[in-house]
Amino acid sequence: MPSEPTKELQTFPNPAADRDYEIAFDVPEFTCLCPMTGQPDFATFKIRYVPDELCVELKSLKLYMWSYRNEGAFHEKVTNTIADDIIRAIKPRKLTVVGDFFVRGGIGTIVTVTHEKKKA
């Protein structure tokens, strides 16, 4: 059965929750649509996080990123939404999401969202 895009991020227990370590994902084939023109926007996303109790399952991240393919989204909004959804799913200790959007009209855009869990 073929996979379908989804906004659901699957998780699994962090196998080394007693230490800080970084997980890095590179997503070089991200696409969404320009909300003004409907033309495709292309980007490379870099996601870096230090997990707490949960980690993001890789295939679900792939299907999640694919779900933006036919959506109109401003670069700033989509990068923040991706960060918010990951934060909501796994509550990481630290997270950085960088959306590096290809040049359009002579201007490239890089949006960086950072998050650090507040200590209790």
Q: Is 26 a catalytic residue?
A: no
Flag whether the pTM goes above 0.85. Answer: yes
- For the chain, which domains are there? 21-116 (3.30.1130.10)
| Predicted local distance difference test score (pLDDT) of residue 91 | 98
Cα separation, 8 vs 99, whole angstroms: 20
Burial of 51 (0-12, 13-18, 19+ CB in 10 A): buried
Per-residue pLDDT of the chain (120 residues; tens, 9 = 90+): 568 999 999 999 999 999 999 999 999 999 999 999 999 999 999 999 999 999 999 999 999 999 999 999 999 999 999 999 999 999 999 999 999 999 988 999 999 999 998 876
Annotated binding site for substrate, which residues? 56-58, 75-76
Annotated catalytic residue, options 34, 52, 84, 85 = 34
User: Considering Cα of 68, then 39, then 43, then 76, what sign does the dihedral take?
Assistant: negative
Q: Which residue has the tokens 């990951």?
A: 86
Task: Give the separation between CA 69 and CA 65, rounded to whole angstroms.
Answer: 8
Placement of tokens 């855009």 in the chain: 109
